[in-house]
Amino acid sequence: MADARRHFLDQIRQDGVALTPELATAFAAVPRELFVPEGFHRRDGSRVEPDDPRFLDAVYRNDVLVTKLHGDVPISSSSQPSLMAVMLAALDVRPGMRVLEIGAGTGYNAALMATLGATVTSVDVQEDVASRARSALARAGIAGVRIVAGDGYRGLPEDDFRYDRIVVTVGIAGLSPHWFEQLTPDGLVLAPVEHAGHHPVLAARPGDPMDATVVCPSGFMSAAGPLGARHAGSHPPSAGVLPDLTETAPPRWTSPLDTAMFRDLWYAAGAWHRRATLAALPGREQVHLALLDETGTGGAVVLPDGSILAGGAEADRYTAVATALIDRWSRLGRPPMRAWRVGLGLDGDPAAPIWVPRVWRLAQGRAPR
């Protein structure tokens, strides 16, 4: 077990995460296997049962563990640990803080925050998920965590105190105004907010105007209800597999963009064009940046080497748009997504509004890569 957890920390660090001593201690101390006692599905859909001889090896991989499906669609999980580590570092959890978590999942993330010294309240809309998280925390002997079944959009207005931090562990379209009412004046909300088919993590503090910074890329399961509402600035949903595309622009880079840099281009494209989303290509596992036409069946797809595939009645136009976006990003020095500042505005369901991304601007003295 000690070897498995040591290897676990090495895997997290290999993903480019600089673990603080406190985070390393928390990940080493909290037994992740106790939070998936009934087994889980891997990212590829294969099932891992508790009696599998390699169960612990699978648990202590730097990967998401899917714990609940609706049909074939994942609706609850334990997130990828390296992403959790980045978010916890950005959250800057310190002993004595009160943290509100929207989305309990397995309870593992709440356990890590409690191990860091926070008092945690976690809200999940699914009663069975909340119940299993409570049981897991009790099994692991983790104190200082309260699990509540309820609507995360509302937060917990009945609490007679304010939270120092609010962290969201489900993909959302925007931030609930209720969260800022329940936050201390110098508090922080950290949430994965939909953008061009992904959920980059945004950090926002109370203020006028409402602004946010980009923390890191991520992909989360999408929330339902007000937190997942479509709005005037929404990008198209994932295009799925786009068939019948042909190359309309050749590769422009001898060495394709690595994953991080390709995500930077993707983020910029989403800031500049409302039809940006993700699409898959036949026979390929990797998803790509797409500019989807109004029919939802054509447009242009950008590959990491800068080549463009296009199809549909407006293939030429979307090829030109994709080329212009790549040129613009290159001309600006390939800004990383962390260099963006996001202006928020109220939108979504009029009866339950949310703060959604509305304006993007590159910060002066951009964030380094």
Question: Which DSSP letter does residue 362 get?
Answer: E
How many CB atoms are closer than 10 A to CB 101? 27
| Whole-Å CA distances, 366 to 109, 196, 329, 334, 335 | 31, 22, 14, 11, 7
User: Among this protein's residues, is 79 annotated catalytic?
Assistant: yes
Question: Which amino acid is located at 6 in the chain?
Answer: R
DSSP SS3 for 186: strand
DSSP SS3 for 356: strand
Q: What is the DSSP string of 290-307?
A: EEE-TTSS-EEEE-TTS-
Long-range CB pairs of 45-53 (<8 Å, 24+ gap) are 45/72
DSSP SS3 for 342: strand
The catalytic position among 79, 122, 218, 222 is 79
DSSP SS3 for 249: strand
Question: Which amino acid is located at 264 in the chain?
Answer: D
Residue 22's closest CA among 103, 98, 92? 92
In contact, 337 and 200? CB cutoff 8 Å = yes
What is the distance between the terminal CA atoms of the chain, rounded to a whole angstrom?
35
Characterize the bridge pairing of strands 145-149 and 73-78: unpaired
In contact, 62 and 78? CB cutoff 8 Å = no
Give me the active site residues, please: 79
